[in-house]
């Protein structure tokens, strides 16, 4: 009796080898995708903390403007009356003035 039961099937072995290779490729692709997403998230978090222009704490004054709260390292008077040129170290911080309130100019028609 000649049967295929005990014979080696090269086609079946090639299919298993192909499927194993595809599974390895799928696993590697998933790992690369997850690493890319993690790298983008980490870079975004880092840059959001590193770039200037964002204040950690803000407070609102009675005029509705937002001001940054921080400590001043200079010994100048808080009302800005100290002369900027008379500082002994030659380095002085400019006195902070309140931001101007912008108003829209009245609109008028062309004919009068």
Query: What's the pLDDT at 39?
Result: 97
Query: What's the pLDDT at 97?
Result: 63
Output the CA angle 64-54-100, nearest 5 degrees: 35
d(CA 8, CA 25): 27
Query: What's the pLDDT at 14?
Result: 95
Q: Does residue 40 sit within a domain?
A: yes
Q: Does residue 27 sit within a domain?
A: yes
What is the model's pTM?
0.39
| Digitized pLDDT (tens) for each residue of the chain, 112 residues in all | 455 567 889 999 999 999 999 999 999 999 999 999 999 999 999 998 888 775 556 556 565 555 555 444 444 444 544 454 444 555 665 666 666 676 776 777 766 5
Domain region containing 46: 10-52
Closest CA to 78 of 98, 61, 60: 98
Q: Does residue 64 sit within a domain?
A: no
d(CA 23, CA 56): 47
Fill in the DSSP letter of residue 86: G
Structural domain tally of the chain? 1
């Amino acid at each position: 009796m000649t049967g295929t039961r005990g014979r080696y099937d090269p086609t079946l072995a090639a299919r298993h080898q192909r499927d194993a290779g595809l599974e390895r490729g799928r696993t590697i692709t998933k790992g690369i995708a997850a690493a890319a997403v993690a790298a983008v998230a980490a870079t975004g978090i880092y840059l959001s903390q590193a770039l200037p222009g964002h204040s950690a704490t803000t407070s609102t004054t009675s005029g509705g403007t937002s001001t940054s709260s921080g400590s001043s390292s200079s010994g100048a008077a808080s009302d800005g009356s100290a002369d900027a040129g008379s500082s002994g170290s030659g380095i002085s911080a400019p006195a902070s003035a309140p931001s101007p309130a912008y108003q829209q100019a009245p609109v008028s028609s062309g004919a009068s």
